Each structure stands twice: as structure tokens, then as C-alpha cells.
Structure 1
Amino acid sequence: MTIKFDALDAALLAELARDPRAPILELAQRLGVARNTVQARMKRLEASGAVRGYPPDIDVQAIGFAVHAFLGIELDQNKMDPIIETLRGFPHVLEVHATTGRADLLVRIAAQSQQDLLEIIQRVHAIDGVNHTETMLALATPIGYRSLPLVEHLTNRTIP
């Protein structure tokens, strides 16, 4: 669901990105609006699905998963759903994207070691319907997942 998005929404999201545990009253004070305004905006953003939740942003490398890879998977098209469900059960799988091009799925994986990564890839190869994989190791992540620059662009507002 697409919603109308304005500068106040962008500012609210920027504040929540900086401090996801900030109380509503404090957010209202920072933004210079009424508490009810912040509460209504948050409810609207959550109900629309634009804000999916407030989980901690965990650095998986800091908890021992230093090897990051992207796995392109070519598969039997009629087996895509069961393959995705199997991948959902792999704790090392951080995300899966259905893609165009040679690979049908692009899978982001975190592993503790190269040996650990090899074992994960072997488990993926054992899934019925997986025909071929291509592994790309991530050497560094100079730009991690982010959404606030897009929010800024959408509202034509500079977020500090």
C-alpha cells in the first residue's frame, strides 16, 4: 500500500532511525509537534506497512559471522516456492530476492568461516530443484542497507 508521504513523516522516520526507543513525547518535542500528531503519524506509517517494526539493527559480524556472501541460484521454476520455504529454515540466510537474469534467486548469507559457508552452500545444493549456484564473497560493505536517503528524495527534504 502506497501512502502520501511528507516532510514530517520523513523527519519522524529520521528520528526513529537515530533512536528507535525514543518515547512519543520526546519525539514530539524534537519535531515541534503535538504528541497526538506523532502518535497518529506512527500509527498510519505502521498500518500502511511503510514501517514494519522496530527491531534492533544487529551487526552480524560483531556476533561472529564475519563471512558474507551472495549466492545466485538457478532453479526449476515450478519448484521456486518450496525452495524459498526451505531457505527460510536456514538461519544463515539473511534475505532472499527473486531476480531476473541468469540466477532466479539472490540469497544473502552470513557464515562464521569459509568452511561454514561451504557447508551452507552444500546444503543449498541438496535442495530438490536447485540446478546451479554462483557464490560471490562480499569483501566489504561500504554502503549497507539504508532507506532514509530514499525518504529524503521522496520528500525533497534534507535529513540531518
Structure 2
Amino acid sequence: MASPKAPDALDARILELLLEQPRTSVREYARILGVARGTLQARLDRLERDGVIRDEGPRLSFAALGHPVLAFVHIEVTQGHLVDVGDALAEIPEIIEAFSVTGGGDLLTRVVARDNGHLEDVIQRLIRLPGVVRTRTDVALRERVPYRARPLVESLRRSADRAG
């Protein structure tokens, strides 16, 4: 299978616009960009097919949902149990992301909790999972750089403009 095509300048402009105005119609995006609606739709379809655009819905504030504590829990797993532990993590609602990693553990999870006691309860649940050897938890104190994609997309557009 061929690797996805690198975004060109128009792709980058489309992505910037999606990030800037996420609730605008395809027709309006096409008008703003000065391209035909069919062209824009074809580009959007390809970007989705290539996995560049992921339809995950709105970004939620877990703090506003009553879970202001954010922690990163590193999990060391017994050899041969990574898939089973990963599947078990998916059943714990407070785990909002989990990644296989190198370094000081096998998995890195992002966990939200109502308070420190709730976080401890979640960690105890993790420790009891079959295949979990140990955990190490880092509690986030303050968000310094919020989730963002725009600076990277702008950089891609500038590179594409120079190459184009």
C-alpha cells in the first residue's frame, strides 16, 4: 500500500481553515478558499481517507465535566500481556488516552479524575489488572501548551508554498 500523499499548500490552507472555523459548511469553506465545492470535497475526502482528518467530535474540557485532576500513568506490563492490558484500559472511563511507549514503562496513559482520592482509586484499579507489574504516576500541575495543531499546519503550508 502506498503511503499517504504529503499535504500540499491547498491541503494546508484547508486544514488551517478547519481549525480556525470548525463549524462552517463545505460550501462556505470553498468560497473562502476560492475553489470549487467539488474540489474541496474531494480534498476533504482524501484527507479523511489518509487519516489526516480524524472525526473525533468536539474537544471537551474534562475539568468542566468535574474531572479537574490530570495525571500521566506509566504502566509496566508483564511480557506477552500488552494487548490484554490495553484492552482492559479501554474499559476504564477515566483513561482518556493510552499509548505503547519505549522507556520507563510499556504503556503511557492520560487519566482524569474528580480529585486526588478518585485518582488513587483509578490507579488501584490499574494495579489490580492482570499483567500489570507496576505503575508510576505524574500529576499535571498546569497546562503550559494546550492541544494545538495550527502551528504545525501553518509550518506545513509555508513549506509547501516554498516548494510549490
Q: How does 1:17-96 map to 2 (within 5 A)?
A: 17-53=19-55, 55-96=57-98
> Taking structure 1 as reference, are residues 147 and 131 closer, same or farther at Cα in structure 2, changes over 3 Å only?
same
Distance 1:84 1:145 in 2: 24
Q: Unaligned regions of 5+ residues in structure 2, if any?
A: none
Q: TM-score, normalised by structure 2?
A: 0.90
Q: Secondary structure at the match of 1:156?
A: helix
- Alignment match of 1:7 (pick from 6, 9, 14): 9
Distance 1:15 1:110 in 2: 30
Q: Residue 92 of structure 1 aligns to which amino acid in structure 2? A: E
Q: Unaligned regions of 5+ residues in structure 1, if any?
A: none
Distance 2:22 2:54 in 1: 12
Q: Tell whether the 8 Å contact from 2:74 to 2:105 is kept in structure 1 after alignment.
A: yes
Q: Residue 89 of structure 2 aligns to which amino acid in structure 1? A: L
Q: TM-score, normalised by structure 1?
A: 0.92
Give the % identical residues.
39
Structure 2 residue aligned with 1:97: 99
Answer with 12-21 or 77-86: which moved more: 12-21
Q: Tell whether the 8 Å contact from 2:16 to 2:154 is kept in structure 1 after alignment.
A: no
Structure 2 residue aligned with 1:156: 158
Q: CA deviation at 1:54?
A: 5.0
Residue by residue over 1:46-67, the C-alpha shift from the partner in whole angstroms, topping out at 9 and shown as x without a partner, is: 1111111151111111111100
Distance 1:35 1:157 in 2: 25
Q: How does 1:129-144 map to 2 (within 5 A)?
A: 129-144=131-146
Root mean square deviation, CA, Å: 1.6
Answer with 127-136 or 10-19: which moved more: 10-19
Q: CA deviation at 1:38?
A: 1.0
Residue by residue over 1:79-117, the C-alpha shift from the partner in whole angstroms, topping out at 9 and shown as x without a partner, is: 000000000111110111111112111100011111110
Q: CA deviation at 1:19?
A: 2.3
